[in-house]
C-alpha cells in the first residue's frame, strides 16, 4: 500500500482521510497510541479471520470501507476485492494508495446495493454501531452473500465497562435514530451490541454464528484515561497483557475488552470443508 503525497488542491474528504491514515497507518509515532493500537489489532483480527474462511481469489466486498486500507491489504493478499462506501469521492483517494492486486469500486449506500453478483465474503468493520436498524442492515448484507459465504464483522463490545450507549434490543423504536446514522469519521455511534444480541440478529438475517471473540484491553486502547500510560509501558508488556487476556474468566474479559469480532455464515448444502471458490 502506497503512502500518498498530500496536495493543496485535495478535496476536504481526502484530507480528512489522509489525516486518519497518518494516525492509523503512516505516522504511528505521532498518533494517539491507544487509537493506533486498537486500529492495528482490529485490522489484524479481520485479516486473520478472512484468511481462515476464504481462500485466495475469493470475491470480497469491504462495506463502508472509508479510506480503504483493509480493501487494499486484502487485494495485496490475492483476494478479488470490491471497495464500497457511501462517500463516492473517497474512491479517488483510495486509488492513490493502490499498489497491487484485484481491486474494484462500488460506491453507494449499502442498503441500496442490488443486482450484484454475490460475494464469497463480506467485511463490515466498525459500521453496524452507526446504523439505526442493525437488523435490517445485516439482512441486507446477507442478500449480497453466496450460500456458504461468510460475513466478518468488527464492532465495539457493548459489555465494556466504559460503555454508556444503549443496547439495540432495548430500544422500542430505532427509527428515532435514523437522522443521525452514517455520520463520517467514526462519529455517531448509536448502539453498542452485546454478545447475546448477535445470535438473534444473525437468525433474523438467516445467518449462522461461527464465532464471537472479544479482544483488545481498555489499556491498549487508551480508554478510561490510560492513554498517558501507553507512552511509558513497553510494547512487549502490552502484548503480554493482550495475550493473557485470552485466558481471563469471561466475567472479567467482557468488561475490560473493548472490541468484538464476529464471523457469520450463510447456510449452504455445500460441505463445510470445501473451499468456497471450489464449491461455487
* Strand ranges in 19-168 using DSSP code E only, listed in sequence order: 59-62, 80-83, 102-105, 119-125, 145-156
Whether residue 226 is predicted with pLDDT greater than 90 in this model: the reply is: yes
Paired residues of 212 in beta bridges: 262
Q: Residue 213 is inside which H or E element, if any?
A: strand 208-217
Contacts of 210 (CB under 8 A, 6+ apart): 53, 150, 263, 264, 265
Whether residue 277 is predicted with pLDDT greater than 90 in this model: the reply is: no
Q: Residue 96 is inside which H or E element, if any?
A: helix 90-97
**Chain segment 67-126, per-residue pLDDT in tens:** 999 999 999 999 999 999 999 999 999 999 999 999 999 999 988 887 789 999 999 999
Contacts of 84 (CB under 8 A, 6+ apart): 61, 62, 63, 64, 65, 105, 106, 107, 108, 110, 113
- Tell me how far apart the alpha carbons of residues 276 and 278 are, in angstroms, rounded to a whole number: 5
**Chain segment 6-59, per-residue pLDDT in tens:** 999 999 999 999 999 998 888 766 566 888 889 999 999 999 999 999 999 999
Complete domains list, the chain, with CATH: 12-269 (3.40.50.150)
Amino acid at each position: 500500500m502506497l503512502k500518498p503525497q498530500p496536495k493543496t488542491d485535495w478535496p476536504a474528504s481526502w484530507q480528512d482521510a489522509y489525516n486518519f491514515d497518518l494516525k492509523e497507518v503512516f505516522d504511528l509515532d505521532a498518533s494517539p497510541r491507544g487509537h493506533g493500537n486498537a486500529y492495528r489489532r482490529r485490522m489484524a483480527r479481520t485479516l486473520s479471520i478472512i484468511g481462515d474462511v476464504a481462500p485466495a481469489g475469493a470475491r470480497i466486498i469491504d462495506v463502508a470501507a472509508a479510506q480503504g486500507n483493509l480493501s487494499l491489504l486484502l487485494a495485496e493478499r490475492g483476494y478479488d476485492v470490491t471497495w464500497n462506501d457511501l462517500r463516492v469521492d473517497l474512491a479517488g483517494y483510495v486509488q492513490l494508495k493502490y499498489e497491487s492486486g484485484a481491486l474494484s469500486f462500488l460506491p453507494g449506500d449499502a442498503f441500496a446495493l442490488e443486482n450484484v453478483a454475490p460475494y464469497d465474503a463480506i467485511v463490515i468493520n466498525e459500521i453496524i454501531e452507526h446504523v439505526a436498524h442493525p437488523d435490517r442492515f445485516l439482512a441486507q448484507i446477507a442478500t449480497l452473500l453466496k450460500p456458504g459465504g461468510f460475513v466478518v464483522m468488527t464492532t465495539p463490545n457493548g459489555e465494556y465497562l466504559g460503555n454508556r450507549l444503549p443496547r439495540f434490543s432495548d430500544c422500542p423504536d430505532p427509527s428515532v435514530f435514523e437522522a443521525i446514522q452514517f455520520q463520517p469519521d467514526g462519529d455517531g455511534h448509536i448502539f453498542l451490541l452485546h454478545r447475546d444480541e448477535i445470535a438473534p440478529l444473525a437468525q433474523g438475517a438467516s445467518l449462522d454464528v461461527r464465532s464471537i471473540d472479544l479482544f483488545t484491553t481498555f489499556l491498549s486502547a487508551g480508554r478510561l484515561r490510560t492513554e498517558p500510560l501507553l507512552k511509558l509501558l513497553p510494547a512487549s508488556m502490552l502484548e503480554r497483557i493482550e495475550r493473557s487476556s485470552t485466558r481471563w474468566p469471561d466475567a472479567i474479559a467482557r468488561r475490560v475488552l473493548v472490541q468484538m469480532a464476529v464471523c457469520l455464515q450463510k447456510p449452504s448444502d455445500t460441505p463445510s470443508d470445501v473451499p468456497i471458490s471450489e464449491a461455487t
